[in-house]
Structure 1
Amino acid sequence: MTKPLLSVRGLTLDIPLARGTLHAVRGIDFDLYRGETLCIVGESGSGKSLTSLAVMGLLDKNIQRRAERMDFDGTELTRASNRQMRALRGDRIAMIFQEPMTSLNPAYTIGDQLIEALRLHRSVSRDTARARAVELLEKVGISAAASRLGQYPHQLSGGLRQRVVIAMALMCEPELIIADEPTTALDVTIQAQILRLLVDLTKEMDVAMILITHDLGVVARVADKVGVMYAGELVETGPAAEVFGKPMHPYTRGLLRCIPQPGMTERGGELGTIPGIVPSLIGAVQGCAFRTRCPHATEACGGEIPVRGEQSHRFLCVYADGARSVEGEPA
């Protein structure tokens, strides 16, 4: 069987605070293969962005990272030195952040920043790097690409800036792109264009992508695999078609009921809601974190929660069927 490009097992992130330790990410596992798009979805504060920063090695010094394994194509990231991580970042692993204006240096032209991204990792001339920059700007849909190289970030619209950031991420032909809510700062029409562009480029260049978002509509359009994150845990993972077609965890089903379903949601009908708030993850955390909001919670939910399902589609729940057999719960 083909080896995963990125394999993560037991990733845990703890943040020491005055009130105790915040268990921000709690023992998550996932595999990502070349050419695949894994979407990690969940509410704000669930640990999605911290997970991506842990892979990139960009966590604050006070955050304690532990993992049984974080293997990127044979390199164990938990044991990689700062020098090794600097060599990987921007070269074999690239990241696209939420706000393009903070990802680009306002004091340098677009061309200077794109050229630097390539020459930092490759022994190429400035002319070669410039030609590569023009090629990628055209590939991401920017017209008059050569003339754009002399412009500064503030002279471009939000959509163009995000396209520049995507081009910068692709300069060294990375094997993995991590996109952390890359369309948050853009309007709806531009969002769709950027997402389509990202997916098309990753397929064309056989690049693996981790896309972090809270928008299930986005996930449905672009994901090969989905990881549903709640309170620092991946409560359900699996192929996108299975997670959307047969969601097993009560939280996943709650999220899906919150969005309109084509052909199923009546016009003017009420959408579902998930009552309550995400529990505090400071101090000891036991049992299912969703039990305070789950209509099917029992005393057993406060104990150890087993991993259920098949290897390709797994979920965390005391119910073997994800509480589907409980009366009143929609399938």
Structure 2
Amino acid sequence: MALLEVDRLTIDIPTEAGLLHAVGGVSFTLERGETLAIVGESGSGKSLTSLALMDLLPSRAIRKAATLRFDGIDLMAAGERQKEDLRGDRMAMIFQEPMTSLNPAYTIGDQLTEALRRHRTVSAKAARERAVHLLERVGITAAASRLGQYPHQLSGGLRQRVMIAMGLMCEPDLIIADEPTTALDVTIQAQILRLLRDLQQEFGMALILVTHDLGVVARVATKVAVMYAGRLVETGTVREVFGAPSHPYTRGLLRSIPVPGRTRPGEPLGTIPGQVPGLVGDVFGCAFRNRCDHAAEACAGAIPERLLGGNHRMACILETVGSPQ
């Protein structure tokens, strides 16, 4: 049995202009120890999908799913107490911006130990020892002295490492990392990604990595789900999707990143013209058709999901359309 099963997850948000169909029919599974990267440009629904798994959506959002199951637990039917028992314990989340996710009024030590003492019967001393151990494990020096500091006293890289340590306090089965390196410089990004990969192997966790950076996906992920306008357009293993990108949107994303040894200095990168369509009101057909060079009349109708081989799937009427470069 898969650790996480998601089948036809939808998220609708009422607005003054009508119902916003933010996420429509997202399905995937995740096994223990796997890393799933959900990729796509800003506004594609990646973060909302991750928040839906933790039931941390805005109060007005309407979440529905044919199946939303974590280790056999039906998350759609679970009561609030059961979900609170899972969050921070067996399911943890690393949020996108640690400066706004960490409480400025509490010390690092208080925030680290809170979840452990909520979910485990441990003394304050044992909780602080665990916090020091994990701060050291994520590469923070003088860890014991950091417990008395406040978030504003730490750099962006250190705050992100604190968020990772916080997620690990109860040794969760699943960690969801929502763009954990967006606010960091390139050197710190590489360190954080290497750290996440090493910790995942050490603790045997499943990891969902939300990102718009395909270079990150290539380095750390096992599987990839490409998301556009709230829908998954291509899924598969990293080898399948990167080795034979098939959806025009995936190919456009790959054309927009430099390839070592192939992209010459100063050479312009590929772009995807146009804008993401509005998702308020009736949504039909392929949402990418207004930006796609291969759009046809049939793209305005129902778009089937096709199995391309192995675990590689694509929601498009086209056959493979040649090299992405």
TM-score relative to the length of structure 1: 0.95
- Report % sequence identity: 69
Contact 2:175/2:208 (8 A) holds in 1? yes
The separation in 2 between residues aligned to 1:74 and 1:250, in whole angstroms, is: 36
2:104 aligned with 1:110, yes or no? no
Matches within 5 A, 1:105-254: 105-254=103-252
Structure 1 segments, 4+ long, off by >6 Å, are: none
Query: Per the alignment, in what secondary structure is the counterpart of residue 12 of structure 1?
Result: strand
The separation in 2 between residues aligned to 1:110 and 1:270, in whole angstroms, is: 44
The separation in 1 between residues aligned to 2:213 and 2:38, in whole angstroms, is: 10
Amino acid at match of 1:277: Q
**Structure 1 unaligned runs (5+)?**
none
Matches within 5 A, 1:1-331: 3-309=1-307, 310=309, 312-319=311-318, 321-324=319-322, 330=324
Residue by residue over 1:259-303, the C-alpha shift from the partner in whole angstroms, topping out at 9 and shown as x without a partner, is: 101222233222111111011111111111111110011101111
Give the Å deviation of 1:62.
1.1
Query: Per the alignment, in what secondary structure is the counterpart of residue 119 of structure 2?
Result: coil
The separation in 1 between residues aligned to 2:207 and 2:150, in whole angstroms, is: 28
Contact 2:8/2:27 (8 A) holds in 1? yes
Residue by residue over 1:126-170, the C-alpha shift from the partner in whole angstroms, topping out at 9 and shown as x without a partner, is: 111111111101100011111111111111111111111100100
Residue by residue over 1:224-269, the C-alpha shift from the partner in whole angstroms, topping out at 9 and shown as x without a partner, is: 1101000000100110111111101010000000010122223322
Amino acid at match of 1:252: T
**Structure 2 unaligned runs (5+)?**
none
Aligned Cα RMSD in Å?
Answer: 1.2
The separation in 2 between residues aligned to 1:61 and 1:141, in whole angstroms, is: 37
Worse-superposed segment, 36-45 or 260-269:
260-269
Query: Per the alignment, in what secondary structure is the counterpart of residue 191 of structure 1?
Result: helix
Amino acid at match of 2:147: L
Contact 2:252/2:324 (8 A) holds in 1? no
Query: Per the alignment, in what secondary structure is the counterpart of residue 35 of structure 1?
Result: coil
Query: Per the alignment, in what secondary structure is the counterpart of residue 120 of structure 1?
Result: helix
TM-score relative to the length of structure 2: 0.97
Amino acid at match of 2:117: R
